[in-house]
Amino acid sequence: MPAPSVAPSAELPFGHERVLVVEDEDEVREVPVEILRQQGYEVEEAADSPAAINALDARHFDILFTNIVLLGGIDGLEISRRALELQPNIKILYTTGSADNAQRDQLPGAQLLEKPYRRRALLNRVREALDD
């Protein structure tokens, strides 16, 4: 199922920064990717941890938006640790649909956006993390 097409909103924060979205479910990943692109962000997506690490190793990102739980390979917390090793100034925004995962150790300064989230919540939280 394709992500819903949404027109950009002048009421919501725009951005120009580069975002890496890491989510192993294609349909779930399409939603934040489309929302962020519509608001001006430069978005790259990764479907698994090896693709995320390769992207982080190859290009600069301003913020990492990652699901905590990922199938196969390492989880979003470990991707975040590696991201900070490669890019010490990168901002981290986690997402999860499980309250148990929200309680897991997160990196200092990282923020959490619980699923399901609305467009406004995603855009506001990304902007807050970037401006922090």
Q: Which domains does the chain have, with CATH numbers?
A: 18-131 (3.40.50.2300)
* Closest CA relative to residue 14, chosen from 35, 45, 44: 35
* Closest CA relative to residue 127, chosen from 79, 76, 65, 77: 65
pLDDT digits (tens, 9 = 90+) for 45-87: 999 999 999 999 999 999 999 999 998 779 999 999 999 999 9
Q: What is the reported pTM?
A: 0.89
* Closest CA relative to residue 10, chosen from 129, 123, 128, 132: 123
Compute CA distances 85 → 88, 89, 90, 102, whole Å: 6, 9, 10, 23
pLDDT of residue 115: 92
* Closest CA relative to residue 83, chosen from 115, 60, 117, 105: 60
